[in-house]
A = this chain, B = another copy of it.
Amino acid sequence: MSTTFKPLADRVLIEAAPAEQVTASGIIIPDTAKEKPLKGKVIAVGVGKKDEPMTLKVNDTVIYGQYSGTEIKIDGNDYLIMKEGDIYGIIG
């Protein structure tokens, strides 16, 4: 994106994976799950909070909760802003 966005503190900017790509990657969200985990890519990472450096890096593929984060559109694309603590883990 031409507009840069720098998350504050322990926040990360996430680009959600499209629904079909989720299945292809080996992650299938069960229909019965109370909260569906979702997959996305890390686009930008804050500098962390005092004495708490960030673990995530740009381009990490992550799983996060269905209700995590706030939607935002930058240069016509949809992203999510959330805290690193809302992210379950990294897919390799």
Contacts and interface: CB of A to CB of B under 8 A. Distances in A.
A4 B70 contact: no
Interface string A52-87: 100110000011010000111111101001001101
A3 B76 CA distance: 31
A14 to B, nearest CB: 12
Contacts of A34: 70-71
* Minimum-distance CB pairs A-B, first 5: A4-B92, A28-B73, A7-B89, A33-B71, A3-B26
Nearest to A29: B73
Nearest to A13: B89
Contact of A3 (B37, B46, B74, B92): B92
